[in-house]
Amino acid sequence: MHTVPDWLQTAFAEWITGRLYLDGRGNYRSARVLGRRIIAYNRALKRAYPHNDEFHRAAHRWLALWEVIPTAKLERRR
């Protein structure tokens, strides 16, 4: 059984809901924070998924699994 770390579940959820984006320099930033700061787990995320398209696909696979087995909560966009 594989478990997805909380920080990665957060990254997937924020990516899917549009609260996380990739800047022009390859850093993941939070759209929720004023000033759009680089997220705390940026380095770990870039290490786990060196290419953004890999992260994007993984986020959607996580969402597909989440719909079958809810393990995290997606916040609603306001």
Domain boundaries, the chain: 6-68
Give the DSSP letter of residue 38: B
Predicted confidence band of residue 78 (pLDDT cuts 50, 70, 90): low
pLDDT value at residue 32:
75
The answer to whether residue 58 scores a pLDDT higher than 90 is yes
Angle at 70 between CA 58 and CA 75, to 5 degrees: 80
Tokens representing 3 are 């478990």
Q: What separation in angstroms does the CA of 6 have from each of 24, 35, 39, 61, 71?
A: 26, 24, 14, 16, 10
Running DSSP on this structure, what letter comes out for residue 69? S
Mean pLDDT of 49-67: 88
Look at residue 37 in the predicted model and tell me its pLDDT. Answer: 86
Alpha helices in 1-78 (DSSP H): 6-16, 42-48, 52-68
Segment 40-50 shows an average pLDDT of: 93
Residue 43 has pLDDT above 80, yes or no: yes
